[in-house]
């Protein structure tokens, strides 16, 4: 209706002015409309250090959406006034230049552009210009005067199908759609000129300010990258120059606060003792994210020290630095942990994807609680150097996103050998995000594991039963009631490895820090108990007192041997039942973490109380592709898309 009213208004003005020959073309139903506000419709430019220009870009007055192309029919209209002119675009020429070369450009394009000499004299700081040549079709007043109007709208007409339709109310559409858009959708919007990377970052910052901050906020985001907008502008310029872009080009990603970034952000694991810690180097996965052109939007809040400070006393999602993360679906329910902020931020539309870490359920648990997709990769698929550790045997990092494909794209980027992590040296395969498009349930052999300790709400069980029925209808082969004896405990590994791993990490921090050992962390907390010890630090003090940090304890060595036996037993389970993947009603926090096998959690529905219902999958080592195919097929089959009401 908005478009019809707009075209009626334009047609009326052109008809009154005698330009009836244009009406049929403008009324063509195969025409797609784009709208862009701008101040100088004949030129886009950026000027370093000029706040006025920054303001124009921020307020969408420099054509961030309706990017014109040669051959477009353009109606130049005052924002709340009459049509001024109709013309076609004869040519578009972009220049990345200094002022010294502008006179040559001016002489070449003066006639086509109708630019006044005094304009050039006022643009001595120009760095980039997109000059648009025009061919006049109809002018209701002299074209030069039309171009000089202070604020106009371009109404750009082109054949439907060449570009997606851009709504008239761009700001409203962007605010509701783009924060929840997928990676492919966003990158298509960047390339189509409908959205800039900077605008996307601003949309997320606006949502964070509105829903995450303050006493009633979700407290998912611990810190914003002060360079995020500068990085976004740099990527916008990169795209404008036609340079090759990375797999995560322009995608804002939040990083869990225990992952090093060698920039102006802290790396604290939520701990008061590390509140002033700046990492000297990027973590291996952060390097890969930067190389893929991702935007590191900020650090996500987390359960302090990845839920390793206490033995159950500290609630999921609490940290001394960030406070309590809130579940966006039901505020008084747990957000899961320890990657709580990462999960909530993705669910609430504060970022496109996030990175979490897991030792024992810390990716899949919060992902399930918040209705998103989480992947815990095989131990050794993703490098771990630069991550504040718990266990050198069990720690890993993985993607958290709203769809299987988005999670797979991020996993593709962060996977690969890490020269500082020997666990990655034997990596036999590379994950492919294309597996999400190849997903099919036909012939897939799935084993259903129902551990006796699993406690699910009746609605959860009913939804799981419905899923099993639908999967059989799609050709999946299900084997129920797998038998596997869980006679192991990750604590007997983590409690011995923590001191050694933490002391090594702290030894690599900046030399001017006073926190160099686990003992220093404990002492700092004890010096500020009101701030740092709201829930105590029982695990830390027990480990400091009863482990040597040299990994020579007999119990620890026996558990490493037992772990290898469990890995062989779990491999044998797949062979015994002839299955490709294992499926559980909800996440299992022992088998995959202890063995290092990959796991994935997927939302499959929603309870009456609005909490998400999840389903959990495991596969053999380095069989992420099988997990992704299966999960993508189930995602497509069920069509479940969850979004909390904030």
**Of residues 345, 307, 309, 304, the one with CA closest to residue 326:** 345
Q: How far is CA 185 from the centre of its chain?
A: 13
User: Which helix (H) or strand (E) element contains residue 319?
Assistant: strand 318-319
Angle formed by the axes of helices 170-177 and 197-211, nearest 10°: 70
Distances (CA, A) of 239 to 189, 244, 246, 399, 535: 12, 8, 11, 25, 48
> Do residues 345 and 179 lie in contact, with contact meaning Cβ atoms separated by under 8 Å?
no
| Pairing assessment for the beta strands 581-584 and 445-448 based on DSSP bridges | parallel
Residues in the chain: 646
Tell me which of 194, 219, 256, 288 is the catalytic residue: 256
> Do residues 239 and 196 lie in contact, with contact meaning Cβ atoms separated by under 8 Å?
no
Question: What 3-state class would DSSP assign to 134?
Answer: strand
> Do residues 245 and 239 lie in contact, with contact meaning Cβ atoms separated by under 8 Å?
yes
Tell me which of 340, 362, 392, 599 is the catalytic residue: 362
Q: Examine the residue annotation and report whether 256 is marked as an active-site residue of this protein.
A: yes
> Using CA atoms, how far apart are residues 200 and 418, in angstroms rounded to an integer?
31
| DSSP 8-state class, residue 214 | S
| DSSP 8-state class, residue 62 | B
What burial class does residue 640 get, using C-beta atoms within 10 Å of its C-beta: 0-12 exposed, 13-18 middle, 19+ buried? middle
> Do residues 615 and 634 lie in contact, with contact meaning Cβ atoms separated by under 8 Å?
yes
Please report the beta strands in 39-170, taking only residues with DSSP state E, as ranges in sequence order: 43-47, 73-78, 83-96, 126-139, 152-159
> Do residues 104 and 51 lie in contact, with contact meaning Cβ atoms separated by under 8 Å?
no
> Using CA atoms, how far apart are residues 257 and 243, in angstroms rounded to an integer?
32
Distances (CA, A) of 211 to 203, 204, 217, 332, 473: 12, 10, 5, 16, 42
Q: Examine the residue annotation and report whether 445 is marked as an active-site residue of this protein.
A: no
> Using CA atoms, how far apart are residues 350 and 357, in angstroms rounded to an integer?
19
Please report the beta strands in 380-484, taking only residues with DSSP state E, as ranges in sequence order: 396-401, 445-448, 477-479
The residues annotated with a catalytic role in the active site are: 256, 338, 362
């Amino acid at each position: 209706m908005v478009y019809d009213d707009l075209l009626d208004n334009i047609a009326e003005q052109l008809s009154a002015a005698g330009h009836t020959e244009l009406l049929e073309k403008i009324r063509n139903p195969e025409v797609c409309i784009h709208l862009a506000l701008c101040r100088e419709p004949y030129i886009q430019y950026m000027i370093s250090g000029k706040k006025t220009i920054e303001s124009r870009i921020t307020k969408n007055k420099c054509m961030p959406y309706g990017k014109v192309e040669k051959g477009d029919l353009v109606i130049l209209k005052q924002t709340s006034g009459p049509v001024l002119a109709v013309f076609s675009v004869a040519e578009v020429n972009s220049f990345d230049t200094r002022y010294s070369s502008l006179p040559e450009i001016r002489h070449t394009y003066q006639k086509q552009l109708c630019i006044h000499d005094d304009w050039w004299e006022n643009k001595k700081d120009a760095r980039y210009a997109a000059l648009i040549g025009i061919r006049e079709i109809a002018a209701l007043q002299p074209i030069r005067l039309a171009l000089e109007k202070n604020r106009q709208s371009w109404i750009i007409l082109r054949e439907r199908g060449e570009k997606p339709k851009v709504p008239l109310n761009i700001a409203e559409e962007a605010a509701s759609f783009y924060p929840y858009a997928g990676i492919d959708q966003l990158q298509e919007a960047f390339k189509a000129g409908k959205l800039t990377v900077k605008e996307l970052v601003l949309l997320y910052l606006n949502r964070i300010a509105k829903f995450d901050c303050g006493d009633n906020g979700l407290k998912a985001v611990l810190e914003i990258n002060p360079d995020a907008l500068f990085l976004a502008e740099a990527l916008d310029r990169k795209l404008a120059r036609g340079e090759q872009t990375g797999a995560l080009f322009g995608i804002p990603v939040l990083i869990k606060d225990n992952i090093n970034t060698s920039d102006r952000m802290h790396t604290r694991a939520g701990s008061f003792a590390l509140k002033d810690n700046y990492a000297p180097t990027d973590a291996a996965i952060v390097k890969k994210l930067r190389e893929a052109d991702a935007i590191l939007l900020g650090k996500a809040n987390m359960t302090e020290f990845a839920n390793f400070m206490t033995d159950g006393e500290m609630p999921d999602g609490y940290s001394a630095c960030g406070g309590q993360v809130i579940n966006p679906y039901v505020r008084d329910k747990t957000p899961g942990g320890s990657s709580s902020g990462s999960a909530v931020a993705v669910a609430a539309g504060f970022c496109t994807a996030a990175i979490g870490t897991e030792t024992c359920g810390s990716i899949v648990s919060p992902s399930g609680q918040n209705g998103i997709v989480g992947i815990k990769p095989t131990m050794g698929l993703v490098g771990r150097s630069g991550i504040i550790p718990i266990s050198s045997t069990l720690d890993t990092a993985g993607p958290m996103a709203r769809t299987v494909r988005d999670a797979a794209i991020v996993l593709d980027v962060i996977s690969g050998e890490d020269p500082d992590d020997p666990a990655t040296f034997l990596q036999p395969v590379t994950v492919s995000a294309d597996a999400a498009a190849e997903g099919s349930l036909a012939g897939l052999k799935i084993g259903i594991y129902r551990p006796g300790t699993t406690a699910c709400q009746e609605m959860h069980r009913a939804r799981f039963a419905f899923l099993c029925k639908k999967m059989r209808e799609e050709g999946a082969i299900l084997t129920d009631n797998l038998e596997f004896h869980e006679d192991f405990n990750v604590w007997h590994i983590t409690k011995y490895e923590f001191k050694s791993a933490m002391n090594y990490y702290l030894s690599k921090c900046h030399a001017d820090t006073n926190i160099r050992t686990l003992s220093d962390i404990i002492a700092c907390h004890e010096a500020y108990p009101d701030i740092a010890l709201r829930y105590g630090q029982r695990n830390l003090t027990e480990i400091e007192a009863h482990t040597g940090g040299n990994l020579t304890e007999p119990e620890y060595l026996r558990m490493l041997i037992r772990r290898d036996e469990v890995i062989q037993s779990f491999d044998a389970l797949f062979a015994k039942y002839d299955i490709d993947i294992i499926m559980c009603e909800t996440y299992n926090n022992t088998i995959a973490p202890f063995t290092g096998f990959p796991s994935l959690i997927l939302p499959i529905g929603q309870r009456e109380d609005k909490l998400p219902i999840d389903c959990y999958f495991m596969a053999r080592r380095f069989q992420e592709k099988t997990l992704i195919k299966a999960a993508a097929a189930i995602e497509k089959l069920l069509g479940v898309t969850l979004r909390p009401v904030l």
